[in-house]
Structure 1
Amino acid sequence: MARQKKASNFDKLLHASRRVGSTARKPWRIRAKRIGIKLTAGQKSERKKQRAAQKQSYKEALLKVHQQIYAAAAEIHERFIHLPTELIATDIFQSERLQSSTKNVGRYNAFVSLQSKLMNAEVPEGQPRQKVNELSKKIAKKWEVMSEEEKDAATREELAHLRDRRANKEVGEHRVSATAAQDSVLTLQRVQESLERLTMRTGDEHLLITTRGSNKVYHKPYVFASSNRVVEFFSNAYKEIPADMGYRMDAFMVSGVEGLARTHVQILAQMKKDIAGLIFRKLQESVGNVKVGRMIYLGFEEQITKRFGIVVKNWPLKEFKNPSCVSTKSELELLWHAWDSGTAHFYRMTTQEYSDWLAIASGPAVIQSGDDRQGSGDGSSSGEAETGGQAAADERLSSTSGSGIQVPSGASPSPASGLAPPSNFVAMNMVTDSSGDAVAVRKRGSRKKHSDAGKPRKGRAGAAGNEAV
């Protein structure tokens, strides 16, 4: 069976970071309830003695092998006097414990998995399932009589499924807290054994602290120090033993930043920053290849709509303004969800829509006056005409095309002689809410004239006087 090329540690971490959290961990084997045999107290005592004797004999066998290794190291030392016996013994003990390469999933593996499922599907419910080693001979006979095309066709889907199952087993996220805790403890115990052996071989010192990442997992902090020297170092340097440091780290990881004392003002400031960044990214995506310096709210008509032909649709708030000017948390959350979900978005007008918008933006205000109302012959009074004129103006301004863009009315607009809306609002659909109605957009007001406008600056006046002298 072909072996995969050993990947570097960086490649392994990169691969794991891409896949972690993307899929939930799935069960990869089926377990049946084991039928146990109850033992008497005498049988339990006898088995306990057998296990103790077996453990003792195993330790004696290991000790004997170690003595043989040190004896072999002493023999090598006689040939290489410049090398100490301890170094030779360490070199003998040095070996890779962890698996360095894995077998690739082959077609026969996929065929065995598929046939095992099909054969076990015929087993009545409640009966023990057949093991792979019991079915291997039958499956091998079927595999031998198949052609290459039949093998490819039979194993193509199952082969991809096996590869996904292997990746899921390695980096799949646990959905059950008890399973995740058990996986953490067992894995950490194997890591501790590896570190202990590494210390025996090389003399390196280690400190391992592992805690939960959230309060959804239930296991206590795992702290391992390779020797008392590590504990003494932390006691002298940090005035704290590693076990206490592990509990502190666990408390911080569970509570995180949310557990720290954060004021309401800091939370709102972070929300405003995130929303402003999100809206700016959406604007840059709508504009395309043209680089936009920043999002303009005050003066959106001149800086954004007139330059790029872009309007805002489904703005969730009553007024179009910078998120930094929003004062309530509920409005900020509404604004974030609207833009994050795509409900509120930028719309780029077509050429015709942009021409219609320019015709209204550059023309006079469309407001019907009281005289116009009387001239139409409806017989209403002047007061009613003024009120009706304002309503008619609002009616004309709210007439939009299907895309929410203002289109000019059939009648040519005339200069307004009645009441006009405030000059700092633009009565055009550059920004619309979810119902398609226009949202008020403030214009950038004219700047206040400086008191020293037109006067030469002191520096320039002094320089001019020096030149004259």
Structure 2
Amino acid sequence: PRALSLWNAFVSQELCAHNQDLNTNDRVSSGFIKTLAERWAAMSNEEREDVSRDKVEELNERREERGRPVPNLAVANFNDTRATLQDVAKELNDLHERTGVEVLLFACRGDQANHLKPWVYRTSERLEEFVELFSGATLGKLAARIEAWCLTGIKGLTKKHKNTVLELKSKVGTLILEKLHATSTRGKPSAMSYLDFANRITLKYGVVLENWPVEVFQAPGRFNSLKYLNTLYSAWE
């Protein structure tokens, strides 16, 4: 921007005073500017500097403040990451062309404040085919899972697993009791008994249980393996 002149400062100063007296922020007429120009022409250089010096400093400070960018760390981090990854990808492309080395690279954010989307680089489709074959997921889905792991960590995964196990235990227990009620012709048992099934269920209600689908016969609530719980649920369903 061009430097502020004493005339600019003088006009700004007098205009503020004029508008303040009129209690308005409207622009003034050309007649008022003409009057200012006549006053300005009648002043000496020293008078012009004296009357405008403070206003020049004020306007320069305002200009500097207005032009100062508001810092945004998240955006700065995102731009830095994106530019760096582009440079890395270029270097790896050159390496692959020179040597034939295959490279698979994942990048994801480590905290919620970061704007980076899961990013994947691979030098050839062979790597992508390998990942899909042995993981059953595309590179995009795998990158999303890696990001979820990095954001929630082992605590988040453990909590999710625990909630899933508890929910499945309840579903299996409820399903088995429903099947028992549907099978029994001597009334509805208030609960399923696993410790003394022969006496409490078979002898009392005439129900026999065959082909229990897992190795151990016990209440679903005592299983902590999703494999066994899923097997029980599928079998009884």
TM-score tier (shorter): 0.3 to 0.5
Structure with greater helix share of residues: 2
- TM normalised by structure 2 equals 0.37
- TM normalised by structure 1 equals 0.19
